[in-house]
Amino acid sequence: MKVEITVNGEHTSHDVEPRTLLAHYLRENLGLKATNIGCDTTSCGACTVLVDGEAVKSCTVLAVQADQQTVTTMEGLDGAAKGELGHPVTKAFRQEHGLQCGFCTPGMVMAAVSLIEENPDLTEKDVREGLEGNLCRCTGYHNIVRAVLVAAGKDPDAAQAAEAVSDERTTAPGFSTGEGDK
């Protein structure tokens, strides 16, 4: 079946089997390998891309479901195709060291782009809940959360300190709560 999908602003068209997953269309038909396939079970979020501006897990969307729609991968963020960090979210991930091995990063970044688009006035709790569909096995999330706060124009130290106060009742004794009352 022929599909026509606008990917990162460019018209693409391929004849695909209906069972082709969007993640496979992006990686194999188009050669866009930023989108990683991690768990392949809608759990880890590594394959997150935007469909018509909203984050989805491309391992659980058929390419035919995206026919005549617009898809954005991490390569489609400002400057990313040339290896530059021109987008506020990618810049913030670099500034806050929001990655270690990098496997989850494209999914984290695309989930963050969608999250900030839907709620520009994010708190730390909003970020943690908003990234619940993305797993990172290296970082412990701390710097990823800071990066998303920075990308949303927030002061991550202030946001984490506010969260530490509001979270006092539910935080285990001795558990790090960021910068505390600094």
Partner 1 sequence: MIPVGFDYQRPESLDAALALLAEHGEDATVLAGGHSLLPVMKLRLAAPEIVIDIGRLAELNYIRVDGDEVAIGAGTRYRDIVISDVLAKECALLPAVTRTVGDPQVRHRGTLGGALAHGDPAGDLPAAILALEGTIVLRSPRGERKVPITEFYTGVFSSVKEPDELLVEIRVPRTGATGWAYEKFTRRSNDWAIVAVAVVTAPDGARRIGLVNMGSTPLRAKATEAALAEGKSIEEAAALAAEGTEPPADNAGTPEYRRHLVTVLTRRALQTAAG
- What is the contact surface with partner 1 in residues (CB under 8 A)? 1, 17-19, 21, 24, 40-43, 45, 48, 51, 54-57, 60-62, 64-65, 67, 111, 114-115, 118, 129-130, 132-134
Q: Beta strand pairing status for 70-72 and 2-7?
A: parallel
Two tokens, residue 141: 């999330």
Burial of 162 (0-12, 13-18, 19+ CB in 10 A): middle
- Least separation, in Å, of the C-beta of 36 and partner 1? 14
- When the beta carbons of 132 and 181 are compared against partner 1, the nearer one is 132
Dihedral (CA of 16, 20, 21, 25) sign = negative
Residue 9: both structure tokens together: 């602003």
With respect to partner 1, which residue has the nearer C-beta, 18 or 120?
A: 18
Closest CB to partner 1 among 119 and 155?
A: 119
Pick between residue 84 and residue 118 the one whose CB is nearest to partner 1. 118
CB of 122 to partner 1, least distance (A): 13
Q: What is the smallest separation between the CB atom of 59 and partner 1, expressed in angstroms? A: 8
Q: How many other CB atoms sit within 10 Å of the CB of residue 123?
A: 17
- Supply the minimum distance, in Å, between the C-beta of residue 17 and partner 1: 6
CA distances (Å), origin 156, targets 37, 84, 124: 30, 24, 8
